[in-house]
Structure 1
Amino acid sequence: MSKFVAALPMYDWPETRGEVDAQWARLRDAFRQKGIDAPQAVARSNGDLPPVPGGVRGGDGKLIAPDPATLPADEFDFHQLWLSPALLFGQTCWGPMELGLAQHVQVIAQPSYDAFEGGRGELYSSALVMPADGEPSVASPEDGKPVIPLDLIRGRRFVFNDPDSMSGLLGLTRDLEAMGESLDIFASRGESGGHRSSIVAIAEGRADIAAIDCQSWALAQRFEPAAQGVKVVGWTARRKGLPFITARTTPADVIASMREAVREFGVGG
């Protein structure tokens, strides 16, 4: 059994688990061909993470996360995953990275978002969605610049997935600030817990607007019925997408081999 952990949790919807498992199987086999002890399956809960007696500590010896064995086994704390010293291959968001995670991990590569409207290469953007009104959705701009309809969103109820999310909150905040505005443009702000939940909240009339990253928006159009009740009214600027990461202690030669494998499979660069 491998001593390492791998996970691809950011787009691991129940309906896409077969696709995520297949993606990991391709990467796992490529890693193993390069002599890397890649785990058989991805982790999907705290119970899948190896215990760290005394808790996880950073490079300076300070405690940065509890022992995974002390957390609810059937839940999945993404920060616990990202900080695990056993993390071989995972995925995070640039929001947590900018807020401190970057000092505890190493970036392997950036995935490609070419397959999704609003994405280009390693860059992605978020669709601004509001209740459908019979009018067509706004297409993603070719130049990747933000399309923020200030008059339309002013005074609305904004819902976001997570406070440290680049796609759901931080990116839009920066775009508004560049326009001389702020989140105060909204009548209220609330946390939904996930992009999918934000879409449902809007469709059910509990919120008016949300920023949904382009890959999650594509998934919602495939699998979430509530997506039929919303439409795209604008887009945030394109930014670097969700990076693939590994533990800060992963050796440089292992990282180099993983980068080569990722490039070979066209998963990222």
Structure 2
Amino acid sequence: MTSLIAALPMYDWPEVRAETDAQWARLRDALRDVGVDAPDALTRDVADLQALWRNPQLLLSQTCWGPMELGLADHVQLVGQPSYDGIEGGQGIFYSSALVMRRGEGALQTPTGQPILPLDLMAGKRLAFNSPDSMSGIIGLARDLAAAVKNLDLFSARIETGGHRASVIAVAEGHADIAAIDCRSWSLAKKFEPAAAGLQAVGWTAARKGLPYIASQAMSVDTVEVLRSVMESQLN
């Protein structure tokens, strides 16, 4: 039995787990066909993603550029970038985050790839965010605000929720007023999270590279090259 592990936690909502499992099954079988001992199933319900991503047995996972910039890049190898084509706010390997508020509290905006920041509307509001190392949830927004000569002090409070879905719910239920939700998570929320029906995108962050696929630094160069080739053929 293989000791290698694989996990795709970033968009693994319960409603799409069958689709995620089917995607992994295709990748697993293609990897095994070329001699990589890929695990039968994805690792799930991980309490510590940082430990998972730093595990030397990590064959494949997906992370965020926030953790990568904060030190994770020293422990992993970049395998590739997903495509966000077909998702509002996405184009190729680039994505924007939707700035969501309750319906009626701002004008609906469509993404352009450039930051759309309704600063007057945002001022004094309570910001819900998934985690402090999230590029899509807070770091990218902070950088866009800095480019507009503003900062996160624009908000009256910052409320960490633990996940994009939880941020959507927090805004919808009135525990927060605004959240930055990456475009794929926002697309999932509109399909599967009832609370999202009461929200709309009143702004967007600038387009940035999407959530990268990674492998442990301990994986051989040959294994990573095979991973890249298989993922290119199976996912594109």
TM-score (norm 2): 0.97
Alignment of 1:3-152 (within 5 A): 3-46=3-46, 76-133=47-104, 137-141=108-112, 144-152=113-121
Structure 2's unaligned 5+ residue stretches are: none
Q: Distance in 2 between matches of 1:80 and 1:134?
A: 40
SS at match of 1:89: strand
Residues 209 and 135 of structure 1: CA distance in aligned 2, closer, same or farther (over 3 Å): closer
Per the alignment, residue 227 of structure 2 pairs with 258
Aligned-residue offset at 1:134: 8.2
Aligned-residue offset at 1:149: 0.7
Q: Distance in 2 between matches of 1:211 and 1:134?
A: 16
Give the letter for the 1:129 counterpart. V
Q: Distance in 2 between matches of 1:243 and 1:139?
A: 25
Greater shift, 37-46 or 235-244, is seen at 37-46
Q: 1:187 aligns with which of 156, 172, 188?
A: 156
Aligned residue pairs, count: 236
Aligned-residue offset at 1:252: 0.3
Aligned-residue offset at 1:15: 1.0
Give the letter for the 1:196 counterpart. R
Question: Is the 1:45–1:77 Cα contact (8 Å) retained in structure 2?
Answer: no
Per the alignment, residue 69 of structure 1 pairs with none
Aligned-residue offset at 1:266: 3.0
Aligned-residue offset at 1:14: 1.1
Per the alignment, residue 211 of structure 1 pairs with 180
Which structure exhibits the higher relative contact order, with contacts defined as CA atoms closer than 8 Å and separated by 6 or more residues? 2
Q: 2:211 aligns with which of 238, 242, 265?
A: 242
Q: Distance in 2 between matches of 1:116 and 1:265?
A: 19
Q: Distance in 2 between matches of 1:202 and 1:88?
A: 36
Alignment of 1:146-161 (within 5 A): 146-161=115-130
Alignment of 1:161-180 (within 5 A): 161-180=130-149
Q: Distance in 2 between matches of 1:135 and 1:206?
A: 18
Following TM superposition, the consecutive aligned residue runs of length 4 or more in structure 1 with deviations greater than 4 angstroms are none
- Structure number with larger C-alpha Rg: 1
Aligned-residue offset at 1:145: 0.8
Aligned-residue offset at 1:140: 1.2
CA deviation profile, 1:24-67 (whole Å, cap 9, x unmatched):
11111111111101001000034xxxxxxxxxxxxxxxxxxxxx
Q: Distance in 1 between matches of 2:85 and 2:132?
A: 27
Question: Is the 1:123–1:240 Cα contact (8 Å) retained in structure 2?
Answer: yes
Pairwise CA RMSD:
1.2
Q: Distance in 1 between matches of 2:121 and 2:231?
A: 41
Give the letter for the 1:7 counterpart. A
Question: Is the 2:100–2:202 Cα contact (8 Å) retained in structure 1?
Answer: yes
SS at match of 1:198: helix
Aligned-residue offset at 1:139: 1.1
Greater shift, 115-124 or 89-98, is seen at 115-124
